[in-house]
């Protein structure tokens, strides 16, 4: 596969953009080689600037549940464009979107729209602190909640990919407010609450982790978080930025039957445009300004284009519940292409092939994966036109646009790439 134009673009990009990319994992440091520069997408496929075609399992890192350029979303954005790109004033569609979110995720009795998943989690933990009058936040190793200062502790995603434990540039005072615990360990949570229970404002968790690769909750883990937080007067925040509208219409909380106090969303609810949302119990959300004392704001929050795209996405999903059954079948078929000796973790339309024969249930077990072999595998797949996340520690995403032909091609390519790297 020839990528001379992408190579030249990457050279040029690195002179003016740190690492040539606007988000670290895109630079391919986790797999070696240089990233293709993308010209366009259609359905389940993307095309680079050299004209190479790939079957896309990144889907913009989650938002594109219906694939690229879905007509329902493109038409909605086009219509919105004609009426103005931003007002910084309330619009009716923001109510529609908030109502649709509440309809799908009933624990979000009230909703505030923001511009990214990072803003959503940052705001949710601030609200939890304001509401409880406590300072500490429990998070889990390998979970990523955006680049919020106090949450960049033992975080997944790009930090896991680059092998950075914690970032520079965050005052110790901030990270001191964060208690990182092993995912899936109820004992660790009990112990943390025994030691600091009356100082913990919230527990924030990815209900299905996507950011150390896909790691499902073990039976009883989320239930235990619910029970322990309630017992100690702390809030349970489910970070559903990735899982919301992906693992089920109502997110992981619908799939696993958990009622959090607060939820954060992003990705799918913007249909590929920048958006985020946080919400939860009405009594908690009434602490947000201008009603309450917790300040949070945004010039472009509730942006008309993002809201139009998100509304179109949610409308489509509500009208087509069969999408979730299809996603389940398609992603099960694709994930099953891995041979013995590879650990396959999958929940709905997100999955990871871990290069280890041991179960992956937390960050310690994820880390045991053979990342050098993953890198060789990734390059081999890319050469065959299969575009996977360029890191062992990122989930792959299946969309409703993936076809039987895509599945067959992917399985064939995977077979040769697994054999090649064995």
Ligand X SMILES: *Cc1c(COP(=O)(O)O)cnc(C)c1O
Does residue 117 belong to the site contacting ligand X (CB under 6 A)?
yes
Q: Rank residues 121 and 178 by Cβ distance to ligand X and give the closer one.
A: 121
Does residue 158 belong to the site contacting ligand X (CB under 6 A)?
no
Least distance CB 118 / ligand X (angstroms): 3
The size of the interface with ligand X (CB under 6 A), counted in residues, is 15
Segment (H or E) for 364: helix 363-366
Choosing from 107, 121, 161, 330, the residue that interacts with ligand X (CB under 6 A) is: 121
Which distant-in-sequence residues (6+ apart) come within 8 Å of 174 by Cβ?
149, 150
* Part of the chain binding ligand X (CB under 6 A), chosen from 5-13, 167-175, 203-211, 317-325: 203-211
Q: Rank residues 116 and 331 by Cβ distance to ligand X and give the closer one.
A: 116
Paired sense of beta strands 343-347 and 396-397, if any: unpaired
Catalytic site includes residue 15:
no
Segment (H or E) for 412: helix 404-421
Does residue 141 belong to the site contacting ligand X (CB under 6 A)?
no
- Give the contact letters, 272-311, x = binds to ligand X (CB under 6 A), - = no: ----x-----------------------------------
Query: What share of residues in the chain are helix, strand, coil (percent, to 5)?
Result: 45, 15, 40
Least distance CB 148 / ligand X (angstroms): 9
**Residue 225: count of CB within 10 angstroms of its CB:** 24
Does residue 351 belong to the site contacting ligand X (CB under 6 A)?
no
Backbone angles phi, psi at 154, to 5 degrees: 45, 50
The whole-angstrom separation of Cα 69 and Cα 245 is 18
Q: Of 88, 82, 154, give the one whose Cα is nearest residue 115.
A: 88
Q: Rank residues 146 and 271 by Cβ distance to ligand X and give the closer one.
A: 146
Helix, strand or coil, per DSSP, at residue 415: helix
Describe the strand order of the beta sheet including 235-239 as a list of residue ranges. 110-114, 276-280, 262-265, 235-239, 200-205, 136-140, 178-181
Q: Rank residues 276 and 304 by Cβ distance to ligand X and give the closer one.
A: 276
Catalytic site includes residue 144:
yes
Segment (H or E) for 353: strand 350-354
Does residue 146 belong to the site contacting ligand X (CB under 6 A)?
yes
The tokens describing 304, both together, are 């008309």
Q: Of 403, 306, 312, give the one whose Cα is nearest residue 42.
A: 403
Alpha helix (H) ranges present in 90-240? 92-104, 117-132, 158-162, 172-175, 186-196, 221-232
Describe the strand order of the beta sheet including 343-347 as a list of residue ranges. 343-347, 350-354, 396-397
Does residue 242 belong to the site contacting ligand X (CB under 6 A)?
yes
Name the active-site residue from 267, 278, 316, 387. Answer: 267
**Residue 315: count of CB within 10 angstroms of its CB:** 16
Does residue 210 belong to the site contacting ligand X (CB under 6 A)?
yes
Name the active-site residue from 48, 54, 56, 239. Answer: 239
Does residue 389 belong to the site contacting ligand X (CB under 6 A)?
no
Q: Rank residues 208 and 234 by Cβ distance to ligand X and give the closer one.
A: 208
Catalytic site includes residue 57:
no
Choosing from 206, 261, 394, 406, the residue that interacts with ligand X (CB under 6 A) is: 206
Q: Rank residues 270 and 379 by Cβ distance to ligand X and give the closer one.
A: 270
Residue whose CB is nearest to ligand X in the complex, by number:
117
Query: What DSSP assignment string belongs to 87-111?
Result: -SS--HHHHHHHHHHHHHSTT-SEE
Strand partners, 53: 47
Least distance CB 5 / ligand X (angstroms): 27
Q: Rank residues 22 and 416 by Cβ distance to ligand X and give the closer one.
A: 22
Least distance CB 276 / ligand X (angstroms): 6
* Part of the chain binding ligand X (CB under 6 A), chosen from 65-73, 139-147, 252-260, 284-292: 139-147
Does residue 207 belong to the site contacting ligand X (CB under 6 A)?
no
Does residue 239 belong to the site contacting ligand X (CB under 6 A)?
yes
The whole-angstrom separation of Cα 20 and Cα 263 is 33
* Part of the chain binding ligand X (CB under 6 A), chosen from 44-52, 143-151, 314-322, 361-369: 143-151
- Give the contact letters, 244-273, x = binds to ligand X (CB under 6 A), - = no: ----------------------x-------
* Part of the chain binding ligand X (CB under 6 A), chosen from 29-37, 85-93, 114-122, 340-348: 114-122
Q: Rank residues 121 and 352 by Cβ distance to ligand X and give the closer one.
A: 121
Which distant-in-sequence residues (6+ apart) come within 8 Å of 289 by Cβ?
295, 296, 297
Residues near ligand X (CB under 6 A): 116-118, 121, 144-146, 206, 210-211, 239, 241-242, 266, 276
- What amino acid positions are annotated as catalytic residues? 144, 239, 267
């Amino acid at each position: 596969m020839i990528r001379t134009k992408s190579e030249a673009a990457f050279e040029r990009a690195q002179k003016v953009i740190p690492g040539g990319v606007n988000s670290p994992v895109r630079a391919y440091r986790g797999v070696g080689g240089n990233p293709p520069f993308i010209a366009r997408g259609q359905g389940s496929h993307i095309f680079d600037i050299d004209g190479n075609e790939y079957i896309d399992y990144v889907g913009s890192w989650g938002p594109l549940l219906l694939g690229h350029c879905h007509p329902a979303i493109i038409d909605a954005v086009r219509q919105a464009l004609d009426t103005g790109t931003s007002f910084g004033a309330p619009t009716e569609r923001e109510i529609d979107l908030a109502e649709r979110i509440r309809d799908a995720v009933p624990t979000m009795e009230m909703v505030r729209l923001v511009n990214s998943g990072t803003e959503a989690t940052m705001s949710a933990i601030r609200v939890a602190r304001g509401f409880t009058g406590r300072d500490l936040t429990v998070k889990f190793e390998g979970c990523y909640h955006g680049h919020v200062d106090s949450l960049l502790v033992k975080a997944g995603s790009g930090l896991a990919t680059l092998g950075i434990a914690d970032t520079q540039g965050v005052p110790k005072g901030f990270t001191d407010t964060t208690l990182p615990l092993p995912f899936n360990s109820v004992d660790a949570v009990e112990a943390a609450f025994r030691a600091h229970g009356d100082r913990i404002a919230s527990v924030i968790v990815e209900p299905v982790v996507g950011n150390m690769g896909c790691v499902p909750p073990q039976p009883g883990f989320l239930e235990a978080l619910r029970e322990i937080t309630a017992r100690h007067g702390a809030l349970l925040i489910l970070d559903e930025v990735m899982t919301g509208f992906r693992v089920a219409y109502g997110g992981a909380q619908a799939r696993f039957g958990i009622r959090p106090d607060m939820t954060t969303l992003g990705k799918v609810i913007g249909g590929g445009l920048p958006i985020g949302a946080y919400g939860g119990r009405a009594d908690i959300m009434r602490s947000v300004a201008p009603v309450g004392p917790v300040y949070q704001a945004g010039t472009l929050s509730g942006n008309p284009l993002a809201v139009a795209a998100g509304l179109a996405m949610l409308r489509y999903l509500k009208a087509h519940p069969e999408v979730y059954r299809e996603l389940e079948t398609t992603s099960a078929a694709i994930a099953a292409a891995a041979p013995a000796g590879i650990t396959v973790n999958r929940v709905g339309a997100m999955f990871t092939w871990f290069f280890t024969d041991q179960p992956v249930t937390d960050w310690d077990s994820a880390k045991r994966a053979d990342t050098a072999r993953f890198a060789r595998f990734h390059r081999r797949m890319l050469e065959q036109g299969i575009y996977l996340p360029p890191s062992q520690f990122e989930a792959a995403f299946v969309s409703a646009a993936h076809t039987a032909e895509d599945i067959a091609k992917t399985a064939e390519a995977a077979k040769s790439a697994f054999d090649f790297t064995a």
